[in-house]
Every structure is written in C-alpha cells, then in structure tokens.
C-alpha cells in the first residue's frame, strides 16, 4: 500500500428513499436510518487521522422540489442531529470544526439556529473539518462566489481564481468522492473543488453502507496514481 497522504473526502450518501421502499417503510423513514449511519461514518473518518476534511451532501437545491411531508421529515432529521452533534464530545475531543453551508435563507428557522450554534461551538477547532452541505448546489455556490467577487473586487488577492476560491462555501480541493446507491453522477456537487478528485461509485444503498466497504474504498484510493492533471 502506498503512503497514506492527507485527504479531503466528499460523500454523496444516496439511497435512503429506495432503502425505505425496499423495507416497506415510507420513503422519508430511510432518512432517519441514513442519519444514524452518518454518525457511524463520521466516527470511522475520525479514526483515520489522515482524513482532514469530510464534506457531506445532506440536501441539494434540487431536493427542495420533493413533497412537503418528506421535506418536513428531512428538516426534523437535520435539527435532531445538529443538536445532537452540539452536545457530542467527539467534535470537541477531536478539535473538529463543523461548517453547515448552503442557501441558509431557505433553511427552516429552527435548523438555522441549530446550525449556527454548532458552528459557533466548533469555530476555533483546527485539527479537521466536517462540512455539511444543506440546500446546496455547486452552480448556486459558484454563482454566489462570482457575485461576491464582483461586489468586493479582487484588490486583496492577486488573481481572479484566488478571489473566487476565497468566496466558495468549501474552499479546499476534494481528493476522493464516494457516492453510494449505484448512480454514477455528481448531481451538482462540489464541481469546482472536484476537478481532479478520484471518484468511487458504490452500489450499496446508504443505510447499508458498512465499515468494511469504507476501508475497501480507502485502500482503493491510496493505490490510485494521482496525476492531478499533469
């Protein structure tokens, strides 16, 4: 195995609704099961010290077109687990900063409050970061960054690209993207940051994703020859 370099891991946890249907449950029930799996996933990542950042696609801008019942249950999931993270020792003990980003103007108010509280509590931690992308879309992110560049100018940075990166919601390049659920697409997720990322598509529905498969994917990644466009 090659030397384990530091990585920014990005996750598209797809398959919650299909899992619900397969188990004769409402589609939204799969999100509750998926959220519990996410807690385990973050724990697995924290046990790998070389993973310095994790970015999680929690809710896309396109997902906002789903039926109101599912959206209400999704907001309930986010509120519950953001507040749970606020009380958890794992981020504090590991000095992990949590960033919740996306179109915050359309977050439900109680979710917005929970997100702000969690970000404030972990703001000064620098050992690693967990980015939760909520009501997020890469096109929206890039357009918002361009608007800020036009508004504030680029006097403080030497190049336009540097200015754009400064205003992105996630400004570190992604090394590895994992998408579960069998679909082979990025779905408007961190398109700028993932220019040279390795991509692993898992057939496993997110609630069934296992520690064994997680380790398999990491081993696969570390054995890739990364050329980064060279």
- Sorted by sequence, the CB contacts under 8 Å of residue 221 that are 6+ apart come out as 7, 175, 176, 198, 200
Known catalytic residue: 63? yes
Question: Which is catalytic among the residues 16, 24, 63, 103?
Answer: 63
Known catalytic residue: 14? yes
The DSSP line for 79-114 is HHHHHHHHH-HHHHHHTEEEEEES-GGGS-HHHHHH
Question: Which is catalytic among the residues 14, 99, 131, 175?
Answer: 14
CA torsion 160→165→166→172, rounded to 10°?
A: -150
What DSSP state is assigned to residue 146? H
| CA dihedral (154, 157, 158, 159) positive or negative | negative
Task: Give the number of other Cβ atoms within 10 Å of residue 151's Cβ.
Answer: 8
Indicate which residues carry an active-site annotation. Answer: 14, 63
């Amino acid at each position: 195995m090659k030397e384990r370099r530091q990585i920014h891991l990005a996750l598209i946890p797809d398959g919650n609704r299909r899992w619900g249907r397969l188990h004769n449950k409402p589609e939204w029930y799969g999100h509750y099961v998926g959220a519990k799996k996410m807690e385990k996933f973050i724990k697995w990542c924290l046990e790998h010290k070389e993973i310095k950042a994790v970015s999680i696609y929690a809710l896309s801008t396109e997902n906002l077109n789903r039926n109101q019942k599912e959206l209400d249950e999704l907001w309930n999931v986010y509120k519950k687990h953001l507040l749970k993270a606020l009380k958890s020792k794992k981020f504090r003990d590991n000095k992990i900063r949590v960033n919740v980003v996306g179109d915050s103007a359309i977050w439900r108010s109680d979710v917005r409050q929970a997100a702000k509280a969690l970000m404030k509590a972990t703001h000064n931690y620098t050992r690693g970061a967990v980015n939760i992308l909520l009501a997020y879309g890469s096109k929206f992110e890039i357009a918002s960054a361009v608007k800020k560049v036009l508004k504030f100018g680029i006097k403080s940075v030497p190049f336009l690209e540097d200015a754009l990166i400064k205003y992105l919601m996630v400004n570190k390049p992604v090394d590895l993207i994992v998408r579960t659920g069998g679909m082979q697409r990025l779905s408007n997720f961190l398109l700028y940051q993932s220019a040279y990322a390795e991509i692993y598509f898992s057939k496993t529905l997110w609630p069934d994703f296992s520690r064994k498969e997680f380790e398999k994917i990491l081993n696969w990644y570390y054995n890739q020859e990364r050329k980064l466009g060279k």
